[in-house]
Amino acid sequence: MNTRKLTDLLVRDEDEVSVGGVVIAILRNEKTGLYRVYKTRNIVTDAGDIYYAQRGAAESPTNAFTTAELGTAGTPAKAADRSDFTPIASTEKLETATYPKTNDGDADNTGSGVDIVTHQFAYAAGDFNNAAITHGWITNPTPGASEPLLTGFAFTGGAFAKTATDTLKVIVNHEFLGV
């Protein structure tokens, strides 16, 4: 006997769409040329789902979602907002020109594709320094304490620091999957 819940029977599996993706952070020392790559998964929030639905319907989105921030703690979740994270001062960064885009041609983006929306944020050496980065998110410009988020993420492998000689590129990919 099939023991699926009634709610499972109301939506056929092949009609569902999920959004998932990978975050890639490239920390590059401009003096030595050495770099480190940090990867993690990210969660598109409930507000992010609405944003993508509005964009897909060619409607004006309720939220702009053009700003990244980095932090030292947080809880990525579907219902998360900015109050669920601890921001690092001076890490608000507007999205790189020409983003978001699909099929990103940036060689650093190993997670791009034709059904993947890429957001990119580039921090210069002097943007901020000496912070223990563990989390990140995309939100609205000049965000308030409980600002909605497009996505939130926690870097795996512990904290990393950006110094005065480092640049940092954060690439956030969202893949749309019909499952």
| Per-residue confidence in pLDDT tens, the chain, 179 aa | 333 333 333 333 444 445 668 999 999 999 999 999 999 999 999 999 999 999 999 999 999 999 999 999 999 999 999 999 999 999 999 999 999 999 999 999 999 999 999 999 999 998 998 779 999 999 999 999 999 999 999 998 889 999 999 999 999 999 987 66
Report yes or no: 172 and 138 within 8 Å, Cβ to Cβ.
yes
User: What pTM does this model have?
Assistant: 0.87
CA-to-CA dists, residue 116 to 21, 39, 76, 83, 167, angstroms: 8, 16, 20, 28, 25
The alpha carbon of 71 is separated from its chain's Cα centroid by a whole number of angstroms, namely 13
Q: Which single residue is written with the structure tokens 């791009």?
A: 112
Predicted local confidence at residue 20, as pLDDT: 64
Report the alpha-carbon distance of residue 141 to residue 121 in Å, rounded.
Answer: 13
150 HSE (CA, 13 A, CB side): 32
* pLDDT for res 160: 95
Look at residue 73 and tell me if it is in a domain. yes
Domain span at residue 50 reads 19-178
* Any domain includes 2: no
Q: How many residues does the chain have?
A: 179
- Structural domains in the chain (count): 1
Handedness of CA 87, 28, 154, 72 (dihedral sign): negative
Determine whether 40 is exposed, middle or buried from the number of CB atoms within 10 Å of its CB (0-12, 13-18, 19+): middle
Provide φ and ψ at 58, rounded to 5°: 60, 30
How high is the pLDDT of residue 19?
60
